[in-house]
Amino acid sequence: MQLIKLEKVKDGKYLKNYELTYLNKAGKEKKYEIVSRRELNSVEDIGKKASGLSIAALNGDRLLLLREFRMGINKSIYNLCAGMMDEEETIEECAARELYEETGLKVKKIIDILPASYAAVAISDTMTHIVFAQVEGSFQDNTSENEKIEAGFYTREEVADLLANAQFSSRAQMVAYFFAKGLFFA
C-alpha cells in the first residue's frame, strides 16, 4: 500500500475533506476519502500533529462526565470534556481552557498526559491527547449557544449503571469502564 497523491475536495470551517490516491497491494490505483482538522499539503502531512485533547477528570472519588448533544449522531451521549488546541497553546493550557469553557471547573492537578492517539482512524488523521486530571470548583454554563452540555460528577456505582443503560463516545466509555471497575484513580 502506497499513498501517492492527496487532493483537497472541500474546505470547511472545522473540517477539511481530502481524496487520497493510493496503490493497493495489487498495484492498482484506488481512491479513499478522509477528513482532517488541519490543512494538509502533501501525503507526508497526514497524521503528523495533534489537534486537541480529551480530559479524564476526577473530583475526589467521582468521575466527571458530560452529557452532550452531538450533531453527527443527532442525540445526547456521555462524553469526556474535550476540545481543540489553539495555535501555540500548550496541552495544559488547552485542558484548563476547555474544562472551564465546558463546565466552569478548574484544573487542580494534572495527573498525566498521554501521547497523542488517533481518534477515528478509518476516516480521519485527527490525533488527540488524553489528559488525566483532578478538578475542582462548581459547575457553570460557559458554553456557547451552539453547544448543549450538562456536566456532572458520578460515583463508581452511578457510572456502572450508566454503562449498562446509556450511550457513550468510545473514549468516555473506556474511561468510565476502568473507573467503574476501580482501575482508574488519582
The b/e string for 145-154 (b: 16+ C-beta within 10 A; e otherwise) is eeeebebebb
What would the grid cell of residue 79 be? 462524553
Residue with cell 468521575: 63
**Domain harbouring 87, CATH code:** 3.90.79.10
For 136, how many CA atoms within 13 A lie in the half-sphere containing its CB? 3
pLDDT tens digits, the chain, 186 residues: what are they?
A: 899 999 999 999 989 999 999 999 999 999 999 999 999 999 999 999 999 999 999 999 999 999 999 999 999 999 999 999 998 999 999 999 999 999 999 999 999 999 999 999 999 999 999 999 999 999 998 778 888 999 999 999 999 999 999 999 999 999 999 999 998 766
87 and 66 in a common domain: yes
Indicate the pTM of the whole model.
0.91
23 and 107 in a common domain: no
Burial of 182 (0-12, 13-18, 19+ CB in 10 A): exposed
- Residues in a beta bridge with 53: 83, 129
165 and 79 in a common domain: yes
147 assigned to some structural domain: yes
148 within 8 A of 59, measured Cβ to Cβ: no
40 and 122 in a common domain: no
154 and 104 in a common domain: yes
